[in-house]
Amino acid sequence: MSKRTHCLEVWGDFACFSRPEMKVERYSYPIITPSSARGIFDAIYFKKEYNFYWQVERIELLHSPKYIALRRNEVKDKASTAEVQKWMNGTKEISPLWADGTQAELGTDQKGRTQRQMMALKNVRYRIYAHIQCRDPRANLNALNAQFERRAAQGKCFYQPFFGCREFPAYFELVNTPPDKGPVDLDLDLGWMLYDVFDLHKANDNQAAPSISVFHAQLKGGVLEVPEYHSDSVHKVDGAGHVE
């Protein structure tokens, strides 16, 4: 069984792939990050028990990056799992999180909302190439590839893919034939870019602690080549916060 590269063309009205050093007043990278690209493939086909992850290979920029300034209201509170379960069981009345006022204006224990500035992207379109990387050698790779292709071709997904923020939906189409349009002719040295926020070598675990990795991203002729996760080009952060 050999690896099979799949190609998705994805597009949307807005996107924000926040640079880690600017997470408060968010500023987007000019192109989608590998972790966000992986998330789009996960939304279409991913099953925890199959013990695999999507390895992004290449990203093609089809529209030149254009920024737009947005101001958003964000809530400061989080609903706990225990609280939500009580709502579902009917043992406690639902208490919504309000995003239309400060704590003083709401007159409740909630912290209310805060306004954040965001430099987002608009009118984005990419082609993303990726393959299934199995951690278990006994996995039936041909079956996994066939299931993904069937779901992607029919437009099926477990949840709506998104571009960095859930309010920025991503639309997708499976590409089976050589594309007519090439990437934009743009060269950029993007510096250190976020690669992923989890250790992709570990088994699928919803309780896994975040593990940041970065790589030196260079856009050449509108193409971002993404090294494999185990490559020396991808620098991982250990438990002590040191970059390997």
Q: What is the full per-residue pLDDT of the chain (244 aa) written as tens digits?
A: 568 999 999 999 999 999 988 767 889 999 999 999 999 999 999 987 778 999 999 999 999 999 999 988 777 777 778 888 888 888 888 877 766 665 565 555 556 667 788 999 999 999 999 999 988 878 889 999 999 999 999 999 999 999 999 999 999 999 998 888 899 999 999 999 999 988 888 866 656 677 889 999 999 999 999 999 999 999 987 655 555 6
Question: Looking at the structure, do residues 216 and 141 belong to the same domain, yes or no?
Answer: yes
Q: 158 in a domain, yes or no? A: yes
Question: Looking at the structure, do residues 81 and 41 belong to the same domain, yes or no?
Answer: no
Q: Can you say whether the dihedral through the CA atoms of 187, 189, 193, 199 is positive or negative?
A: positive
What are the E-state strand segments in 62-138? 67-75, 113-134
Angle in degrees, CA 31, 33, 37, rounded to 5: 110
pLDDT for 127: 97
pTM confidence score: 0.85
Count structural domains, the chain: 2
Q: Tokens at residue 150, please?
A: 């069937």
pLDDT for 177: 87
Question: Looking at the structure, do residues 177 and 205 belong to the same domain, yes or no?
Answer: yes
Q: Tokens at residue 28, please?
A: 């987007």
Single out the residue of 56, 63, 38 nearest to residue 164, CA to CA.
Answer: 38
Q: 1 in a domain, yes or no? A: no
Question: Looking at the structure, do residues 103 and 136 belong to the same domain, yes or no?
Answer: no
Q: Would strands 113-134 and 26-27 be described as parallel, antiparallel, or unpaired? A: parallel
Q: 242 in a domain, yes or no? A: no
DSSP state of 200: T
Note down the domain range covering 81: 77-111
pLDDT for 49: 78
Alpha carbons 135 and 130: distance in angstroms, whole number = 16
Q: 84 in a domain, yes or no? A: yes
